[in-house]
Amino acid sequence: QRIGYAVVGLGHLSLEEILPALNSCKNSKLTALVSGSPEKMKKVATQYGIKSENCYSYETYDQIKNNKEVDVIYIVLPNGLHKEYTIRGAKAGKHILCEKPMANTSQECREMIDACAKAGVKLMVAYRIQYQPHNRKVRELIKNKEFGAPKFLEASNCQSSANPDHWRHKIKLAGGGALPDIGLYCLNTTRFVLGEEPTEIFAYKYTTPGNPLFTEIEEMVSWQMRFPSGVIASCSTNYNVHESRHYRVLCEKGWVNLDKAFAYKGQNLTTARAEGKLELNQNVGIAETDQFAIEMDHFSDCIIKNIKPYTPGEEGLQDHILMEAIYQSAKEGKPVKINSSSATAGIH
CB of 48: closest distance to ligand NAD in angstroms? 15
d(CA 40, CA 34): 10
Could you say which of 100, 122, 127, 205 is catalytic? 100
**E strands of the chain, at which residues?**
3-8, 28-34, 55-56, 72-75, 95-99, 123-126, 150-160, 200-206, 220-226, 232-238, 240-251, 254-259, 268-275, 278-284, 336-337
- Closest to ligand NAD by CB, 28 or 329: 28
| Separation between Cα atoms, residue 73 and residue 33, nearest integer Å | 9
Nearer to ligand NAD, 128 or 248 (CB): 128
Q: How far is the CB of 89 from ligand NAD (least distance, A)?
A: 15
Q: Is the peptide bond before 78 cis (omega within 30 degrees of 0)?
A: no
What is the b/e burial string over 133-168, where b = at least 16 CB atoms within 10 angstroms of the residue's CB?
A: ebbbbbbebbeeeebeebeebbbbbbbebeeeeeeb
How many angstroms separate the CA atoms of 210 and 269, rounded?
Answer: 40
CB 201 within 8 A of CB 224: yes
d(CA 261, CA 139) in angstroms, rounded, equals: 12
Of 197 and 295, which CB lies nearer to ligand NAD in the complex structure?
295
Is residue 40 part of the annotated active site? The answer reads no
As measured in angstroms, the least distance from the Cβ of 166 to ligand NAD is 7
Q: By the criterion CB under 6 A, which residues form the site for ligand NAD?
A: 9-14, 36, 76-79, 81, 99-100, 126, 128, 167, 173, 181
- C-beta nearest to ligand NAD: residue: 11
Nearer to ligand NAD, 137 or 170 (CB): 170
Q: How far is the CB of 231 from ligand NAD (least distance, A)?
A: 26
Ramachandran bin of 187, using left for φ above 0, alpha for ψ from -120 to 50, beta for the remaining angles = alpha
Cα separation, 263 vs 120, in Å, equals 34
Edge to edge, the sheet with strand 200-206 lists 278-284, 268-275, 254-259, 240-251, 150-160, 232-238, 220-226, 200-206, 336-337
- Examine the residue annotation and report whether 264 is marked as an active-site residue of this protein: no
Q: Which residue is catalytic, options 5, 61, 85, 185?
A: 185
Cβ 76 to ligand NAD, closest distance in Å? 5
Closer to ligand NAD at the Cβ: 173 or 274?
173
Nearest distance, CB of residue 257 and ligand NAD, angstroms: 21
Q: Which residues are tagged catalytic?
A: 100, 185
